[in-house]
Amino acid sequence: MKIYILTDMEGISGISRVEMVRPDEGGEHYQYGRKCLTEDINAAVAGAFDGGATEVVVNDGHGGGRHLILEEADSRALYERPGSGYHLMPSLDESFGGIFAVGCHAMAGTMDAFLDHTQSSTSWYNYKLNGERHGEIGQAAAFAGHFGVPLLFVTGDEAACEEAERLYESPVTVAVKKAVGREHAICIHPIKAREMIRQGAKEAMSLVGKKAPWVLEAPITVRLEVYRSDMVDGMAASDRVTRIDARTIEMTVKSAREILKWS
């Protein structure tokens, strides 16, 4: 049984401040954040194999990748990074039994959520699929649903886990921290959190073949509202996109693989 693990960094255990997820300004705090990321992923990979996985692919998804410390990552798994929005999870296909989303954050505009955002913390205000607000967990669920693959397991802060349970067919969740305002989190001890992730991942394996994928009804309307008009000028120039007003663009796509394909 093949499992695909999409990772982000904001919802990793032990990561409690914004500089820990920022390579450009994080310094030694970011380097420790990479260690935390690698260990949470190792826990999820171990849980997947404990639960019967035969192949695990890990996608180093935060900010385009290059955050994982590969030499310290579980050598049983395979590793890749995201491509364009169309290739969010490049090797994912119908042959996988499920996806895990590790290190998640809640969608932009969520209360009591650590570093909540959808793609851009500075410009993306609302992102809607068929009229409903979604974030990056929803994008992963929809993308996997395109291939008939269910979202089985989610880790992150409490707000991310609540979002996943409410919107995406109740995957197994493990909350490793709670936000105190947007830029600070109080964390479970990382060693304990990693044990919880390993257990949760193993439990999620029991949903393989039982849990339904999250499938958006096509054609899919994708609407993006940003903070300022110039933030969509470039995207609005695409033939695929209709400008609704100064700050809002919309496109209609045939498949969930295209929900981030603006041009």
Instruction: Supply the residues annotated as catalytic.
Output: 117
**Cα separation, 214 vs 202, whole angstroms:** 21
Of 22 and 128, the one with the shorter C-beta distance to Zn ion is 22
Tokens of 140: 């992963």
Closest among 112, 215, 91, 196 to 154, alpha carbons compared? 196
**Cα separation, 152 vs 144, whole angstroms:** 11
Q: How far is the CB of 61 from Zn ion (least distance, A)?
A: 7
Name the one range near Zn ion by CB under 5 A: 2-10, 26-34, 184-192, 221-229.
2-10
Handedness of CA 46, 47, 53, 59 (dihedral sign): negative
Q: How far is the CB of 63 from Zn ion (least distance, A)?
A: 6
Regarding 8 and contact with Zn ion (CB under 5 A), the answer is yes
Of 4 and 49, the one with the shorter C-beta distance to Zn ion is 4
Please, where are the H alpha helices in 25-181? 27-50, 136-146, 158-167
Regarding 62 and contact with Zn ion (CB under 5 A), the answer is yes
* Beta carbons within 8 Å of 107's beta carbon, 6+ residues apart: 116, 117, 118, 127, 133, 134, 135, 136, 137, 138, 163
Q: How far is the CB of 229 from Zn ion (least distance, A)?
A: 26
Of 7 and 248, the one with the shorter C-beta distance to Zn ion is 7
At residue 233's C-alpha, the angle toward residues 263 and 90, to 5°, is 30
CA torsion 7→9→11→16, rounded to 10°?
160
Q: How far is the CB of 186 from Zn ion (least distance, A)?
A: 20
Of 157 and 247, the one with the shorter C-beta distance to Zn ion is 157
Regarding 117 and contact with Zn ion (CB under 5 A), the answer is no
Name the one range near Zn ion by CB under 5 A: 60-68, 124-132, 231-239, 242-250.
60-68
Judged by CB under 5 A, the number of residues near Zn ion is 3
Tokens of 1: 């049984």
Of 9 and 99, the one with the shorter C-beta distance to Zn ion is 9
Q: In the range 133-172, which residues lie near Zn ion by CB under 5 A?
A: none
Helices 158-167, 136-146: axis angle to 10 degrees equals 40
Regarding 34 and contact with Zn ion (CB under 5 A), the answer is no
Name the one range near Zn ion by CB under 5 A: 61-69, 116-124, 163-171, 212-220.
61-69
Q: How far is the CB of 139 from Zn ion (least distance, A)?
A: 12
Q: Which residues bind Zn ion (CB under 5 A)?
A: 8-9, 62
